[in-house]
A and B are shown apart, each in its own frame.
Chain A
Amino acid sequence: MQQAEMKTSSLGQTEIEHWLVSYVAQLRGVKQEKIDVTATFDRFGLDSASAVALSGDLMEWLQCDVEPSVIYDHPTIRRLASHLVTVRAAGARG
Chain B
Amino acid sequence: MTELDMTAASASLGASAGAIQAHYDLSNEFFALWLGSTMTYSAALWHDGDDLATAQLRKLDFHLDAANARDGTNLLEIGCGWGSLLERAVTKYGVGRAVGLTLSDAQSQWERAARSDRVEVRLESWVDHAPGTPYDAIVSVGAFEHFAKAGLSTSEKQRAYRHFFEWCYENSAKGAQLSLQSIVYENYDEQNPNPFVEEVFPESDLPRLSEICAASEGLFEISRVRNDREHYAKTLRAWYRALRAQRDAAVQLVGEATYAKYEKYLGVFIVGFHVGTVNLARISARRIDSPVKSVRRSRPEASLLL
Contact = CB atoms under 8 A, between A and B. Distances in A.
Interface string B223-264: 000000000010001001100000000000000000000011
A44 interface: no
B159 interface: no
Contacts of B272: 48
Nearest to B196: A49
Contact of A67 (B196, B270, B277): B270
Interface string A42-83: 000000110111011000000001011100100000000000
A72 B267 contact: no
A52 B264 contact: yes
B214 interface: no
Contacts of B118: none
B106 to A, nearest CB: 27
Contact of A52 (B233, B241, B267, B275): B267
Contact of A48 (B240, B241, B263, B268): B268
B148 to A, nearest CB: 23
Interface of B: 194, 196, 233, 237, 240-241, 263-264, 266-268, 270-272, 274-275, 277
Contacts, number: 38
A49 B275 contact: no
A51 B237 CA distance: 15
Contacts of B233: 69
B236 to A, nearest CB: 9
A68 B275 contact: no
23 contacts: A48-B267, A48-B271, A48-B277, A49-B196, A49-B267, A51-B267, A52-B264, A52-B268, A52-B270, A52-B271, A53-B264, A56-B267, A65-B241, A67-B237, A67-B270, A68-B268, A68-B271, A69-B233, A69-B270, A69-B274, A72-B271, A72-B274, A72-B275
A65 to B, nearest CB: 8
A21 to B, nearest CB: 22
Contacts of B241: 65
> Which 4 A-B residue pairs are closest in the complex by CB-CB distance?
A52-B267, A68-B267, A69-B274, A48-B271
